[in-house]
């Protein structure tokens, strides 16, 4: 079955909005990292432990993995299809074949984010879920906070996170706006608000996430 480009864009918009919701919850939970160390360790570990054992959150986590895969797979297919049709158009007009600036830009930022998510899950999620030698905190919970602090003691890791958050900000700024347009907010009146909302969301999310590794690194 061959889906229309509009169907692809709608699925990308819905999965993208779901991922924005995930990012908001993830950001709020991670704010505990800014607490003083004695409180942060127990709060952050208790929060992670609570989420791991709550069945609705487990379903939300599987939905998140599914949304990432769907968003990436549809982005690849849509880009391939756009390239093929642009190639036909340019061959017909006898001019140079270039994909649009927008598609390439979103593709590059999306690619960086995909790499980030793979490395990020390998750093934190995998050892937390499947690591055997993970330390326990004073309350007997797995010390996820310790894993985060150890990772952000490395300047390379901090720089990687900050660069990835720049890519996240740019991807959200353009992606959220386009997603809202795909879902029907393309009228000029809504478009202005969608642009503003995307800008504010992109700045808040990327800056606060970027401050986490910087804060932990500088605090030492
Ligand atoms: C500096 C910022 C961030 C920190 C400190 C951080 C920290 C963490 C930690 C400790 C976990 C493991 C928690 C668990 O499995 O229960 C985790 C999971 C995850 N993170 Fe992040 N994160 C950050 C930014 C991001 C960003 C920007 C994204 C997406 C672009 C992201 C995507 C994910 C995903 C998909 C998971 C797996 C979620 C799950 O299994 O429920 N994180 N993060």
Domain containing 86 — which CATH number?
1.20.1300
Q: 165 vs 85, which has greater pLDDT?
A: 165
167 C-alpha vs ligand 1 centroid, how far in Å? 16
Residue listed under structure tokens 């924005």 = 20
d(CA 54, CA 203): 31
Q: 134 vs 105, which has greater pLDDT?
A: 134
Whether the predicted pLDDT of 98 surpasses 60 = no
Mean pLDDT of 151-178: 96
Q: Judge whether 29 and 81 are in contact, CB under 8 Å.
A: no
Lookup: tokens for 199:
């800008």
pLDDT in the model for residue 203:
98
Residue to substitute in 115, 125, 170 for testing ligand 1 pocket (most ligand atoms within 8 angstroms of CB): 125
d(CA 172, CA 182): 15
pLDDT in the model for residue 219:
93
pLDDT in the model for residue 88:
64
pLDDT in the model for residue 109:
92
pLDDT in the model for residue 162:
98
Q: Which H or E run includes 108?
A: helix 101-120
pLDDT in the model for residue 186:
73
Residue to substitute in 19, 23, 26, 157 for testing ligand 1 pocket (most ligand atoms within 8 angstroms of CB): 26
46 C-alpha vs ligand 1 centroid, how far in Å? 16
Whether the predicted pLDDT of 96 surpasses 90 = no
Pocket of ligand 1 (CB under 6 A): 26, 30, 48, 51-52, 61, 64, 113, 117, 120-121, 124-125, 128, 144, 148, 161, 168, 209, 212-213
Residues 24-63: pLDDT tens digits? 999 999 999 999 998 999 999 999 999 998 999 999 999 9
Would you give the DSSP letter of residue 152?
A: T
d(CA 175, CA 168): 10
pLDDT in the model for residue 1:
63
HEC letters along 18-43 = HHHHHHHHHHHHHHHHHCCHHHHHHH
Q: 96 vs 219, which has greater pLDDT?
A: 219
Residue 38, domain extent: 5-219
Confidence of residue 188 (pLDDT cuts 50, 70, 90): confident
Q: Is 142 helix (H, G, I), strand (E, B) or coil?
A: strand
Q: Which atom of ligand 1 is nearest to the CA of 213?
A: 1
Domain count, the chain: 1
Q: Is 48 helix (H, G, I), strand (E, B) or coil?
A: helix
Q: Please give the share of the chain, as a percent, with pLDDT higher than 70.
A: 91
- Backbone φ and ψ of 136, nearest 5°: -110, 150
pLDDT in the model for residue 93:
53
Q: Judge whether 198 and 16 are in contact, CB under 8 Å.
A: no
Lookup: tokens for 156:
């390379």
Residue to substitute in 21, 56, 124 for testing ligand 1 pocket (most ligand atoms within 8 angstroms of CB): 124
Q: Judge whether 45 and 90 are in contact, CB under 8 Å.
A: no
* Nearest Cα residue to atom 8 of ligand 1: 124
Q: 38 vs 128, which has greater pLDDT?
A: 128
């Amino acid at each position: 079955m061959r889906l229309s480009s509009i169907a692809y864009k709608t699925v990308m918009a819905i999965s993208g909005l779901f991922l924005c919701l995930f990012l908001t919850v993830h950001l709020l939970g991670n704010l505990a990292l800014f607490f003083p160390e004695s409180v942060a360790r127990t709060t952050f570990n208790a929060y992670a432990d609570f989420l791991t054992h709550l069945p609705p959150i487990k379903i939300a986590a599987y939905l998140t993995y599914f949304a990432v895969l769907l968003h990436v797979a549809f982005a690849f297919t849509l880009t391939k299809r756009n390239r093929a049709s642009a190639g036909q158009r340019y061959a017909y007009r006898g001019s140079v074949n270039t994909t649009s600036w927008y598609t390439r830009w979103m593709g590059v930022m999306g690619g960086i984010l995909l790499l980030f998510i793979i490395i990020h899950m390998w750093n934190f999620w995998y050892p937390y879920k499947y690591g055997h030698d993970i330390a326990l905190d004073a309350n007997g919970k797995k010390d996820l906070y310790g894993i985060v602090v150890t990772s952000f003691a490395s300047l390379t890791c901090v720089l990687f996170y900050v660069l990835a958050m720049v890519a996240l900000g740019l991807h959200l700024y353009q992606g959220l706006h386009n997603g809202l347009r795909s879902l029907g907010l393309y009228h000029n009146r809504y478009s202005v608000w969608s642009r503003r909302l995307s800008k504010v969301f992109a700045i808040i999310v990327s800056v606060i996430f970027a401050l986490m590794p910087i804060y932990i690194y500088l605090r030492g």
